[in-house]
Amino acid sequence: MTKTALKKGFLWGNSVSSMQTEGAYNEGGRGPSVYDIREAGEYVSDWKVATDDYHRYPEDFDLMQDLGMNCYRFQISWSRVQPDGEGDFNEEGIQFYSDFIDALIARGIEPMICLYHFDMPLNLAKKYQGFMSREVVDNFVRYGKKMVDVFGDRVKYWLTFNEQNLYSMPGCAKIAGALETPETLENILKITHHVMLAHAQVAKYLHETTDDQIGGMLAYTELYPATSKPKDNFYTEQINQFYNYNLLDAFNGKGYIPAYLNLVAQNDFDFIQPGDLTIVQDQYSDFLPFSYYRSTTLSADEISDLSDLLQHSSNFYQDNPNLKTTEWNWQIDPLGFRNIIVKMWNHYRKPIFPIENGIGVIEEWDGQNEIQDDYRIAYHRDHLQAMKDAIEIDGVDVVGYLGWGLIDILSSQGDMRKRYGVVYVNRTNHDLRDLKRFPKKSYHWLKRVIQSNGADLSE
């Protein structure tokens, strides 16, 4: 492993969403979101308290400062700053985030804002079916511009949508707030377009009114053909085109890929209106952020056509027998991480920024002894080395490295058992306990890594 440090100013940090951390679901003037009506289950918490970051964020920021982190990507809860998503803004909610940002800056931590992470204001979901509707596109743009206006003087880095390519995949209706919308091919392509329209208008406004930077974000899973069959390779590339390069091209001012526009036209879908494609093309990303956790393979044996692939893609994924797999059936592949970094850089020559990476593991604390999470150290060590290889061997410009939920949070499904953190939070799915924070073994390792600016990755 190389012992060289990363460039001066490299960003080390942590990423989270509001619903997985904040709690305080009925405090501070916050309105309901779609998460507030989700029912708890045996392995699913409700979202009322989460890790109580609304009240405890100074404690968490102190831990980040002690670790040496200099960047924190958090999400603004749309419902907290605009309770119904379309009416008046809530000054108490805006003040909460203003104080939150000031607290980060006071500790030398660069704030990065994400505007939307699946938690549509409930009113917009019920009234308009979320991003199925142009009204919600317009409301999001109004919300996004307001946040830029009030925080743009202190926040340099921005995201519109968490993992925006998920709005092109099965499951897109749920995260887009379209709770009663069938996921037909037309609706998947429509949601893809509406979300991009919203992103493009906010990105353009930010560039027109500030010197800040914004990036369009992907959830990037490295995908290999399951075999050397030409059909496996062909449909693997089709997935890559529709789920990754369609948006990456748009983020970089090229507009959509021709295949996306052809699919819309050939099916006589009419959701692209005059002027839309100019809006999509008339903006750009300053950096290319993405999440990465795993890779998988695709078998095309049962795929009938492109429509079948885009509507049911998860049905065709298979485990890779050459990789280790976590208890959540996510396959560990640091080389896939490097490959994605290199591919994006070679295609677009924009600074690359991995802003989510980590391993989720079921962990229990005995109440006394430090959790010995060597598996987490190994995961981050190997991925950091892969990133360094992309920088030092492949010549990539990488902005920073943000882990996911490095202080334990609820999982995206609401399961507190799936822990990513280097800090343990003392609660279970249904027992809040005392919510105290306790560093794990990986905390001390990561602190040393950051102090050396990535030069020392040894265990």
- The set of catalytic residues is 163, 356
Find the helix or strand (DSSP H, E) in which 260 lies.
Answer: helix 258-266
Classify residue 410 by its DSSP letter: -
Q: How far apart are CA 122 and CA 137, in angstroms?
A: 15
Let me know: does 29 contact 83? Beta carbons within 8 Å: yes
Q: How far apart are CA 257 and CA 165, in angstroms?
A: 14
Q: Which amino acid is at 243?
A: Y
- DSSP for 152-168 reads TTT--EEEEETTGGGGG
3-state helix, strand, coil in the chain (%, to 5): 40, 15, 45
Let me know: does 206 contact 199? Beta carbons within 8 Å: no
Edge-to-edge order in the sheet of strand 71-75: 213-215, 157-161, 110-116, 71-75, 11-15, 400-404
424 beta partners: 438
Which residue is it, tokens 């596109």? 137
Q: How far apart are CA 292 and CA 289, in angstroms?
A: 10
116 beta partners: 161
- DSSP for 340-380 reads HHHHHHHHH---EEEEE----EE----SSSPP--HHHHHHH
Let me know: does 47 contact 38? Beta carbons within 8 Å: yes
225 beta partners: 298
Q: How far apart are CA 419 and CA 402, in angstroms?
A: 16
Q: How far apart are CA 162 and CA 175, in angstroms?
A: 10
**Angle at which helices 441-451 and 53-67 cross, to 10°:** 50
| Phi and psi angles of residue 233, each rounded to the nearest 5 degrees, phi first | -65, -40
